[in-house]
Structure 1
């Protein structure tokens, strides 16, 4: 739970459920992650601070817009656990792809700092699990949230085995994501987009920058930070994408996964704050994953 009027609200999961209605997806409950899973990316002192701030009632606050309710830690650990379970299922061949519908999101959580509604770096932790537990050599993360995934970038800055590619509106919160931010091994690809640039510019940017980087990297697994707040109706930004853009983008990522990773994709929910747009975008995104995963 978040305070009344907060954009990262529980109603988002209702919109996701409506978006999934009618799709032939197998549903699994997200397990509660062990604390050791969080420690793949975050230091023990940071986890202890988050735990200490969880209120008995009402709300605690970690930064200007990141709140804690009494069960926020449980929700965040289920987000981490859901991503871990999805990675395990896909890499064991139980499913070709998976979508993790959880909140709070994770891509703004830095190594020792909660911010932007995020407590733990779900997708970065999932990447480390795939690399360290399953023995993969190359994992790619594609983040199409309208805000730059500064937390994912921070957590994986030194990780040569992980390509991180992000498209995002700039200038916009959190202020990071310049093309010059390349990572310790040149494995980070940031593609800033101007407000109002729309679908055609986005598609051209992916064709020119992101897809070639993925093809050259040859990932054994693709992870997606699936934020839907670049949609034209979202109140927090202005990239002017439509639901069809998410279907196109998902299909193209499935093509690359088919070519290099045996089709293996794990997508996890990030932003998306207009509820009708979120419903439509989830339907478009997961609809393609379901079709391609048959």
Structure 2
């Protein structure tokens, strides 16, 4: 089996103000890293536009309408101090949604073994009715719910190793007994959520806060002792990864000390779990990562490991 890489040039059209960390160059660096001969076997797919029916898997119609109406025609606007929309942002966000939906379809239809969505803007901070933290739509949740509702699965898991807590994902799945959400993240740090006692309506949310300056040793132990047993107990039929690489030691927005091999290890172990639980079915979607070189090398390590797992 192969690994699919879903992307679209529209995702470069999401332009943020000068100096903003969630910049066009992030995707340019990732794309360049994945363009070498090593990654030639990837099945490269242009992401379709997500549809309103997909957005409504995570957000109410009023929110979808508000985001569409907010899209500017000729300038960049601020939805909050961190979150912006330019004339190309709506299409970029719809491509990110469409990539995740298409990736789920390809994996569950047996076209590929697993998939990575190299898209932006990210999604794990977008709450039901609130854009925030650079995010407009809950990409990972849309992927999980599409798997459940369009493909008839009973259980899904979302694993988020971005350095920031996925408050949006947590908000969206709080009442979903069929979706396990497990997040490791630095604490204290934006957005301030993600305490262990935040467990969801059915105990299906697992938060693993890591203190500043934690390294790969604590990260790995936390997954082995807490995250992986919870995933195994849930018995998901697909695993969605919110793949943020801002826990890297070089990232300017946080203070964890992971390196590329830590992300590769996490990916390898998640794929191992997926092999035993759900036929290796994994869909990964890009979240954070703001040191451009660290982002590129970490994303390459992640995709390289997905490719090895799909063989």
Q: What's the offset of the Cα at 1:230?
A: 0.1
- Tell me the alpha carbon deviations over residues 43-67 of structure 1, each in whole angstroms, 9 at most, x when there is no partner: 1111111111111111111111100
Question: Which position in structure 2 is the counterpart of 1:37?
Answer: 54
Gapped regions of structure 1 (runs ≥ 5): none
Q: Does 1:112 align with 2:129?
A: yes
TM-score (norm 1): 0.99
Q: What's the offset of the Cα at 1:18?
A: 2.3
- Tell me the alpha carbon deviations over residues 68-122 of structure 1, each in whole angstroms, 9 at most, x when there is no partner: 0011111001100000000000000001100000000000000000000000000
Find the aligned partners of 1:165 and 1:271 in 2 and give their Cα distance: 16
Contact 1:19 1:281 in 2 (8 A): no
Q: What's the offset of the Cα at 1:34?
A: 1.0
- Tell me the alpha carbon deviations over residues 261-283 of structure 1, each in whole angstroms, 9 at most, x when there is no partner: 10000000000000000111011
Q: Does 1:12 align with 2:26?
A: yes
Contact 1:57 1:70 in 2 (8 A): yes
Find the aligned partners of 1:93 and 1:125 in 2 and give their Cα distance: 20
Q: 1:262 aligns with which of 270, 279, 282?
A: 279
TM-score (norm 2): 0.94
Q: What's the offset of the Cα at 1:14?
A: 1.1
Question: Which position in structure 2 is the counterpart of 1:2?
Answer: 16
Let me know the Cα RMSD of the aligned residues. Answer: 0.7
1:1-294 equivalent positions in 2, closer than 5 A: 1-21=15-35, 22-23=38-39, 24-294=41-311
Question: Which position in structure 1 is the counterpart of 2:4?
Answer: none
Find the aligned partners of 1:173 and 1:5 in 2 and give their Cα distance: 19
Find the aligned partners of 2:232 and 2:62 in 1 and give their Cα distance: 38
- Tell me the alpha carbon deviations over residues 227-276 of structure 1, each in whole angstroms, 9 at most, x when there is no partner: 00000000000111000001111000011000001000000000000000
Gapped regions of structure 2 (runs ≥ 5): 1-14
Find the aligned partners of 1:261 and 1:268 in 2 and give their Cα distance: 18
Q: What's the offset of the Cα at 1:19?
A: 2.2
